[in-house]
Structures are given as structure tokens and as C-alpha cells.
Structure 1
Amino acid sequence: MKKEFIKSIIVFFLLGIILTGCQKEADSPVENASSESEPASSDSNSESAESTDHTHNHNHIHDDEKQKEIYSGIFEDDEVEDRELSDWEGDWQSVYPYLLDGTLDGVLQKKAETKKDKTFEEYKEYYKVGYETDIERIVIKDNTITFYKNGKGKTGEYKYHGYEFLTYESGNRGIRYLFDLVREADGVPKYVQFSDHSIYPTKTEHYHIYFGDEDHVTLFNELDNWPTYYFSNLSGEGIAEEMNAH
């Protein structure tokens, strides 16, 4: 009787151990389920990345729109920054010869058809006055500007003088960046002004230049003649494409 009682206790004890083991096995899939939920977190990160890309693209579009406004002469005073001569560094050619030989006729025709404020012939005359110059090439390096006339270059060293706001008849504005000749040099102007539709430090792709020996104020009054320069490695057709892009 006593032996049977002891056997019953042993059987009951072993049964308890077996049931406990089964319970642990039943609990283990819950941990696996938790680990399998991680890809959802990855999807969340992807959504965040898409949101970031969208924000970046939106800002890029906003920047493009702002650049167009600045190019058109719409900006606030406190947006204007000083610039160094290195912004205009490079080897540049006048576009005036391409106007005279007809290379830019397509550009003028497009303007006439798009804006409808002047005929092609009127645009041609307008730009003849605007682009006219006898300086066929300009090379800017470090703090020096070399002006080429009839193939011969004259070099002067220049220092930054500041910038000036100009308001045009249309109501839009422009910025001219001013430079002074450091020491007198033969055959180069004492005063130089750049206008390239930008208002803060940036490498320019083309520019209008004004220069003379009187003073900067006199140059501010020059609104009809604005010799224009593009990189010398561009062909006339390449310059026309650049102009049409704007």
C-alpha cells in the first residue's frame, strides 16, 4: 500500500515536469512573433525617407523659383551679399561679334515671338547698342583683369569696392558689384562694375560689364550699353543655346 502511494507521488511529480515543459514550448512563438515585426519598422523608415526626398524636391523647386525671381530683379535688400572677383574668374569672349554675324538671330526671333513687345528688327538694333564693345576678350584671374583689344591684352589689379542697387523703369532692380584699380596701369579702366543677375557669392556663367575712368556714379547712369561676355570655350551656337535657356 505504501509502495503504491509512493509510486503515485512519483508519477504525479513526473507529470508536473512534463506539463511545465509543454507550457514553455507554447510560450516561445510569442518571442519569434515579436522579432518578425521588425520589417514593419523598416517600412516606416522607407516612408520617412520618401517624405525627406519629397521635402528636398520641394525645397529644390522653391530654390529654382527664387532664382528666377532674383534673375528678374525681384529680391530683398538683406538678401544681397558681398562678392569677390573670383566669382567672375575665367576666360571670356564678347557676344557682340555673334550678334553682328547673325548667329544670335534665332534668339532675337524667339524673343520677338514670345514677348511681342518688339519686332525682330527692333530687337536687333536694341542689342547692337547693348552689346557693342571693342574689347573682344576678358581674362580674370586672382585679383587681375586683362582686357583684350585687337588681340593685345592689358592687365590691371583690382580691389573690391562694394555693391550698388539700381532700380529700372520696369520697377525691377539690379545689383552692380564694383571694383577699383589698385594702382595705375596703362590701357585699363580705373573702375569696373559687374552685373550677372546674382546677388550673392556664386560662379557666374555670363555677365554684363561696365568700365571707365571717371567714377562709379557715372557708370551707374549707363543703362543702354552693357557689353556681355560668355566663356571663351563656347561656340556662337553654344552661346545662343545658353541664351535661349533663359
Structure 2
Amino acid sequence: GDKAKEEEMKEGMQESEHEHSHGKEVSTFEDSEVKDRSLSDWKGDWQSAYPLAKSGALDEAFKEKAEKTGKMTAEEYKAYYLKGYESDIAKINIDGDTISFTDESGKTVKSAYKYLGTYIQNWSTGTKAAMYRFEAEDKNSGAPIYVEINDHMIEPAEPEHFHIRFSNESFDAIKDPESYWPTFYPAAMTAEEVNDELAGHDHHEETEYDEHVWLSLKNAELYVNKIAEDLSALDAANAENYKKNAEAYNKQLSELDTQYADVVKNAANKYLLFGDRFPFRYLVDDYGLDYSAAFVGCSADTEASFETVRFLAEKVDEKKLGSILVIENSDQKIANTIQQNTQEKNQKILVLDSMQSVTEKNIADGETYLGVMQKNLEVLKQALQ
């Protein structure tokens, strides 16, 4: 309801080109959740974004990004996207199991492709993506032999765009996807429509909410009450038991909420810095904490810009922070880079668990929501010293 908060773009954050569309694209998942897909998911005619960027057709998008973030000039954004979009393939057609590639001169090569499965790409931010791999059946057709497609989804779906990389040597020889992501949009899209999508225009004018609502103990009480209410409706004979259990659990949540408030109240420092995505807005708002972070909570970006790292390192020095935070499963690469660009270079790297995925092993080991939030409180104590 009205307790849901819109995603927040804080000063210094890296603007994300790959923020996932809620309910569609994903950047955190269990490997076992990835489903096989066929080329039919990407059927049809597609156009490369590279010629559009080179021609100046996307300059307005780069200008809007520069005005919105202030982290790079329009010219720097254009250079960044030109590097990522670079491709000598201008058009792609996918029909059945056949991919046709048309280069800038108009020459077309094609081959049937067989599906080889997925490769899980772990990004430097701790997020990841499913790369769908295909191998040409006709090795002499002139078409790329090893093809890898990524559209930020992990199951059959119709994408709004996709990234494709390939090599004639091997999958290992494909360029680094963190810096090279040739992007293809539907051929029917006009340059203006591609420009709008790149600029982040929302033609449906829907508000983008921060989905990490469970990271507020106050929100958790709302959910406990709703669960008890629904269970009671399904099993009226035990309604009183559900009510009592909900009351007992909410008492524990309330007690932990008080502990969080006390820790923040008694802390000399009330500022957190994340060298990572930031899914904890509900938590910091509950207790009046301020923060800086490399990315918004739903970003699937893979690396922080020089400007973002510099901003965060300077913020560590300005606030005299003794720690830099990351979320679970992070490789801590960005946090370590921030640390090495501070004056002291001795900050602790601390991990706050955002519970964005739970494994069967977690459950077997007895991990619970309350348990994770209690551990997070201990981490918070250190971070606020």
C-alpha cells in the first residue's frame, strides 16, 4: 500500500543501463532456477543499436543521462555506449533454429544452430546473468560458430532487447561481457523509440517501486498478520492458533525492531556506505540512517565507473568511515577498489544479508528471517562505530 517506496537514485550512484523490469528481468537467482530456452524466444527481425549510436540518433538519450546523473558528460556516455554496443553486424533475423547475420555492407550469412545450454555469468557486483549458448551446425557457412545470447531473463520469455556475442574459436574466446554487450532492438522500432527506451522513458508512466519490502521489520509485521488472516480463512478451525502464533512472532519482531532503534540511537555514526547494490532503503528509512551506494537495489550493472568509485572513496574519507558494506554473494571487487582509493585504506568490508534468495541448504541449516535480521543487527553495530 502507501508504505511502498519508490526506487531512489542517490548522489554518486552509477546509473544502471540494465536495471531489471520487476517481474520480468532478474539479476539474482539460484542456478537451479534457470530454464532452458529455444531460439524461438528471439524470433523475428532485429537491429543493432551501434549504428544508431554512431549516427547521433541516440544523442538525446546520452544528454538526458548526463543531466540526470551528473557523473559523465553526454560525450562520455556516448563513448561508453559505443564501446559496449560495437558490432559489425547491423541486422539479425531468427527463424526457427536458424540465425541470419547481415553486416554493415549488406552481406548476409546464416546457419542452423543447436542449443548447448546455459552458462551462468557472475558479475563483479555480486549479481549474475544466464547466458544461452548455441553452436552453428554448418561450420563453413561464414556465420559465427559459437553464439551467446543474454536478455537478463532466466526462463522462456519475449525480450524487449537482447545482447549477443560470438566467436569462431570457442565460448571462452568471446569478449568480456562486462565491457562488451552488442545490443539488438526489434527492427520495427524507430530510432526515436530506441532513444526513449535507452533514456529510461516509461511510456506507461508506471512508478518503479523498491521491491525489497521484507528488509523492514515493521513491514514484516504486516505480512505476518496477512499470512495469519489468510490461513485462518482457509482453516477456520485453527484460526485462534494462527492468531496466537502471529502475535507471538510479531512480539519477537517488535523486540528486534526496538534493538535496531537503540543501536542507531546510541551510534556516533549514522551513515552507511555500500560498494554494491543497495536493497536496504526500507531498513535505513525505518531508523533514520543516511547512505551512499554504487547502485540502486535492482541494478544488474557489472562494474562501477571511475566517477562512482571516486565519489564513494571521498565519502568514506569525509565521513571517516571504518567500514564499507556489501550484500551477500558479492565478490567485493568494487568495495575493495573503493577501499584502495581512500586515504586510510584499512576499512573493514562487512556483509549485510538482503535475503534475495534462499537455498534448501539455508533452510536445512535452520536459517530464519529473524535469525538473518539478528545477524544483520550485529553487522550494523560494527558499521555504525
Q: Could you tell me the TM-score, scaled by structure 2's length?
A: 0.44
Structure-1 residue corresponding to 2:88: 134
Offset of residue 221 of structure 1: 3.4
Structure-2 residue corresponding to 1:68: 22
Structure-2 residue corresponding to 1:214: 169
Q: Return the alpha-carbon distance in structure 1 between the equivalents of residues 171 and 21 of structure 2.
A: 27
Q: Return the alpha-carbon distance in structure 1 between the equivalents of residues 54 and 134 of structure 2.
A: 30
Deviation by residue 1:170-226 (Cα, 9 ceiling, x = unmatched): 222111100011132322111000011111101122111001111112226343222
Structure 1: which 5+ runs fail to align?
Answer: 1-53, 55-64
Structure-1 residue corresponding to 2:131: 176
Please, which moves more after superposition, 228-237 or 165-174?
A: 165-174
Q: Return the alpha-carbon distance in structure 2 between the equivalents of residues 71 and 115 of structure 1.
A: 23
Q: Return the alpha-carbon distance in structure 1 between the equivalents of residues 117 and 175 of structure 2.
A: 13
For 1:9-28, list aligned pairs within 5 A: none
Q: Return the alpha-carbon distance in structure 2 between the equivalents of residues 116 and 73 of structure 1.
A: 26
Offset of residue 107 of structure 1: 1.7
For 1:180-219, list aligned pairs within 5 A: 180-219=135-174
Please, which moves more after superposition, 67-76 or 114-123?
A: 67-76
Offset of residue 98 of structure 1: 1.1
Aligned 8 A contact 1:70 1:199 in 2: no
User: Given the alignment, which residue of 79, 87, 105 partners 2:33?
Assistant: 79
For 1:51-66, list aligned pairs within 5 A: none
Query: Which structure shows the bigger proportion of residues in helix conformation?
Result: 1
Offset of residue 82 of structure 1: 0.9
Q: Return the alpha-carbon distance in structure 1 between the equivalents of residues 175 and 52 of structure 2.
A: 26
Structure 2: which 5+ runs fail to align?
Answer: 2-18, 203-385
C-alpha root-mean-square deviation of aligned residues, in Å? 2.4
Offset of residue 70 of structure 1: 6.5
- Between the aligned residues of both structures, percent identity stands at 39
Q: Could you tell me the TM-score, scaled by structure 1's length?
A: 0.68
Q: How many residues align?
A: 184
Offset of residue 236 of structure 1: 0.4
SS of 2:144's partner is coil
Aligned 8 A contact 2:26 2:154 in 1: no
Aligned 8 A contact 2:166 2:174 in 1: yes
Structure-1 residue corresponding to 2:62: 108
Larger gyration radius, structure 1 or structure 2: 1
Q: Return the alpha-carbon distance in structure 1 between the equivalents of residues 21 and 179 of structure 2.
A: 24
Please, which moves more after superposition, 154-163 or 93-102?
A: 93-102
Q: Return the alpha-carbon distance in structure 1 between the equivalents of residues 193 and 46 of structure 2.
A: 14
Q: Which runs of 4+ in 1 moved over 6 A?
A: none
Give the aligned residue type for 1:208: H
Give the aligned residue type for 2:61: V
Change beyond 3 A, Cα 1:220–1:163: farther
Aligned 8 A contact 2:20 2:26 in 1: no
SS of 1:219's partner is coil
Structure-1 residue corresponding to 2:98: 144
Structure-1 residue corresponding to 2:254: none
Q: Return the alpha-carbon distance in structure 2 between the equivalents of residues 115 and 174 of structure 1.
A: 25
Q: Return the alpha-carbon distance in structure 2 between the equivalents of residues 73 and 112 of structure 1.
A: 25
User: Given the alignment, which residue of 97, 107, 130 partners 2:51?
Assistant: 97
Q: Return the alpha-carbon distance in structure 2 between the equivalents of residues 220 and 232 of structure 1.
A: 25
Deviation by residue 1:22-70 (Cα, 9 ceiling, x = unmatched): xxxxxxxxxxxxxxxxxxxxxxxxxxxxxxxx9xxxxxxxxxx984386
